[in-house]
Structure 1
Amino acid sequence: MNKKISILVITIAIIILLRCIFDSNENIIYIVAGINIVAIVFVLYTIIEKILDDIIDRIKKSEVPLQIIKREIKNTQLKIWGWTIAFSAVVIVWYFLYACSGLGNDIISILALGISVLDDEIIKKITEIYRI
């Protein structure tokens, strides 16, 4: 956990520095969009890690052979990370090409904050829904 906190602190410091440096840049909307996307990706990464930990614990507690457990863990990780990365990439590219604006940036920052506040409930719901 301390490693994640140090990475977060360093990332926040770099983001603040970049925001201050490029404040008068004409492409500030894209810079802020990048900052907000980094924030929401970090929040989603921590949530996905917690979801995977919960699902892996459920798989390990099942009474199946170790070989099947290892296969299920690998498949679960591939499914969750694969879909998440593919969906995120499509949304990020679409946002930068078609919807990047000050309002869009505000919406992304509010979403990142809201998701981070509700992360425990999100993790609980998704792990309940996910079938092993």
Structure 2
Amino acid sequence: MNRPEIAEKAVRLVERRISRDKWPEYYDTKRARFIGKQAHLFQTWSISGYLVAKLLLANPSAAKIFVNEEDPELANALLSANPRRKRGRKGFKQPFHCMNCEAKKRATRQTCPNFANIVTGLEA
């Protein structure tokens, strides 16, 4: 935001091409020599991005509307009002299929009696 000359140069470059190229979604290559192979034309965000850039160059103080100052009191009130924030995270249990259990059912490492023997290779 402190280097308007770069923004002015970018807008000048865009002004020469983007309208003639039918407002493409994106350009290929670093130098933007080609319109992207699958780029859609007449894109609203291409047009609006250009217009916003022009307006911000004309009035740089308008950039304040894009910067939000967080109100810590409001953020704390929202966090305390959310019931999901009060619960702790559930532990992650990785399921696996134990081939050695007689039931041959899905089990967790904590519930399989053969898990320690399978991992260490001590099972007979």
TM class by shorter-chain length?
Answer: under 0.3
TM superposition score normalised by structure 1 = 0.26
Q: Going by fraction, where is strand more abundant, 1 or 2?
A: 2
TM superposition score normalised by structure 2 = 0.27
Q: Return the structure number with greater relative CO, CA threshold 8 A, min gap 6.
A: 1
Q: Going by fraction, where is helix more abundant, 1 or 2?
A: 1
